[in-house]
Chains A and B, each alone.
Chain A
């Protein structure tokens, strides 16, 4: 009797996973897609998006990072901006811009080249790339650089962010980034934001890289002048082109700080320009259709903040997540099976109540873990499994198990003869 109970619990757990697998495979074949706009909307959503978007407690601003918007300034203008900022001795200037090829405006090119050359600590972006003949999607064998006339004084670092986009112009959701990556030739490349952080505090950057994670989750802090696109639209110093030209800022905000030259729209607060703009988990609208909320430069600023403040996010490996899911589902099925056998009349009511408690309680645990310990628990599969478990187990006992037993089949045929 006791052994049979445990066998049923194990088989019931397997059945729920099989049921999920069945639904999953049907979804994989796009069978339900035509009538599943909700599933489509949720397809690119993680539970922590809700945390960042709606539940994150207002973080404090970071005074160690200054963003400078280059707007639509030509290269000569960017040179003037660089000179205006670098004279106040920032710890590092990161330029989140590519300067491909010399332009017809030779004077502008020369001005920019010299201005970049005058910056004491300069980090200039490059891009991890794959050559045409490289058929391995996991291998990066080359780097895309600005024209060499602009790079001679710069420390290189890659600006690639982890998104689902195939090209820069696609809609992009950015939750994670790659802190360092080894090229096919064995050369180690470091991310733009981590490299900038290393100029400010090399120990903290080393400590971050020493975690050894191939991918890191970005612990977002906030945005700059975003008109409500996120709840935290004001977390970094931000200077517009005009501010720098007219000296409309206090120089002490620059000294010994991380300064990022980047594109933040034609002017600060530009909501109509989507060049280099991303969706982030901070987006006020966390599911379905929304506008991108954050420029790439601000994402780099968030990563710099995370590294310098050691606000890392810890997350479970796939194996750990699956183990946790299996164990918790097993216990749920055990309780439900006991109720099914001992309190059959109460089964529907009690299991539904337990399901509701778990479906509210598990997200609470996920939020709690994230908020207090910065641990990202991805238990979405467990939530789906629990949602299916009550009725699924009834199907298991009522249909699967009965159809496999002689008495069950006999009972069914007896009814059909009536």
Chain B
């Protein structure tokens, strides 16, 4: 019931639907429709523009929902006493938290599926190692959501959460290769990117598309983000 209600509320937030789901899907369609984006490019390590940007589009969608919308919703619930009110009922506010995370996860999986079906079905992308792809996707989503929970924990107001989320969004999207693909980054920059959750996430998804598991290092980075952000989020979380 709680999850269903929160889902209805998400449905009534057009901005979240557009930026979180609509925009990445439209972005993919536009990219795929441009002639030549499906051809391998040497500068990108022998893969096509579409295949370079598919993981980045997926990452965009995940960061937008996990690091921007999730903390914004949670801090506004805290700020406005929604969590406090829930404390007085037989249901714990933890249930609300869980429902929010579940919805975010569900929306990401659904949108991810839509993006993959479009990219593979309508365009020329292929996913060589589906299992590696799924594991990479889920780890990336989990890392982003724990980072989002950390943002919610350290932000006193929804405004602060939005500001912090926006800054993180640009930093993380830069390292994912949105403006400068990872393959074109100088070594030192790619080294920093490797340590970010989006950099290693994109790499893991990319390798899975190419048909093999990424090096354990990238998965290690994602797991480290989950553990560190998770621990800090729990440490700093406040109900009111």
Chain A bound to chain B: no
Chain A contacts to B: CB under 8 angstroms: none
